């Protein structure tokens, strides 16, 4: 089932913009399904199995619209290869803010994905504060416990490899347009 609060969904379905919460939720649940995981044995990756699995579902979907959110789509573009349209989504506010703050502090975000470098970076009070502010800004990371360097690694992953959104309309035109 789809999440009800996807920030990018209004761009895909303009009719949702003015709907009350209950009607919006009902429409989303009736018209959208999500491909949440495509698991392929590591020995079989790169053989086209993931693309074939997604195409098989899209050929006979449960609903008119299908969505997928992929963290690794940059390196494994099988949703796009299967005919889903990738949306260009802006970074969320907290990610954009952290990226700006790190740049201003002279910290290269992707380097924080290295635990050793993240440990060093959070020794700088301003970097640690920025990371902690980023974590507090979302329910998903607010309650995470552990050292600040672990949050820095997670934040670096979100900034440098944000999830990508894919959509498919089973009754629409080719969904590979606008790539």
* Distance from C-alpha of 125 to C-alpha of 137, rounded to nearest angstrom: 18
Pair 84, 22 in one domain: yes
* pLDDT value, residue 161: 84
Flag whether 175 is in a domain.
Answer: no
pLDDT tens per residue, range 119-152 = 999 999 999 999 999 999 998 898 888 899 999 9
Flag whether 179 is in a domain.
Answer: no
Pair 69, 110 in one domain: no
For the chain, the three-class secondary structure string (H helix, E strand, C coil) is: CCCCCCCCHHHHCHHHCCCCHHHHHHHHHHHEEEECCCCCCHHHCCCCHHHHHHHHHHHCCCCCEEEEEECCCCCCCHHHHCCCEEECCCCCHHHHHHHHHHHHCCCCHHHHHCHHHHHHHCCCHHHHHHHHHHHHCCHHHHCCCCCHHHHHHHHHHHHHCCCEEEEEECCCCCCCCCC
* pLDDT value, residue 173: 46
Pair 117, 52 in one domain: no
* pLDDT value, residue 178: 36
pLDDT tens per residue, range 96-109 = 999 999 999 999 99
Flag whether 109 is in a domain.
Answer: yes
The count of structural domains within the chain is 2
* Distance from C-alpha of 81 to C-alpha of 50, rounded to nearest angstrom: 10
Pair 58, 35 in one domain: yes
pTM of the model: 0.73
Flag whether 2 is in a domain.
Answer: no
* Distance from C-alpha of 155 to C-alpha of 161, rounded to nearest angstrom: 10
Query: Token digits for 26?
Result: 């009902």
Domain range holding 138?
Answer: 93-160
Pair 100, 33 in one domain: no
* pLDDT value, residue 172: 66
Flag whether 48 is in a domain.
Answer: yes
Pair 97, 132 in one domain: yes
CATH number for the domain spanning 56: value is 3.40.630.30
Residues of the chain with confidence (pLDDT) below 50: 173-179
């Amino acid at each position: 089932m789809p999440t009800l609060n996807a920030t990018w969904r209004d761009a895909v379905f303009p009719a949702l913009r003015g709907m009350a919460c209950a009607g919006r939720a009902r429409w989303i649940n009736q018209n959208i399904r999500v491909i949440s995981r495509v698991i392929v044995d590591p020995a079989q990756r790169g053989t086209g199995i993931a693309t074939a699995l997604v195409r098989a579902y899209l050929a006979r979907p449960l609903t008119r619209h299908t969505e997928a959110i992929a963290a690794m789509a940059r390196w494994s573009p099988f949703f796009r290869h299967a005919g889903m349209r990738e949306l260009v989504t802006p970074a969320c506010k907290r990610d954009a803010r952290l990226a700006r703050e790190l740049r201003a502090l002279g910290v290269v975000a992707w380097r924080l994905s290295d635990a050793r470098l993240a440990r060093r970076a959070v020794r700088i009070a301003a970097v640690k504060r920025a990371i902690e502010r980023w974590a507090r800004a979302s329910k998903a990371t607010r309650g995470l416990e552990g050292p600040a360097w672990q949050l820095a690694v997670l934040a670096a992953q979100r900034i440098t490899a944000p999830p990508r959104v894919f959509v498919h309309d089973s009754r629409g035109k080719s969904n590979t347009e606008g790539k």
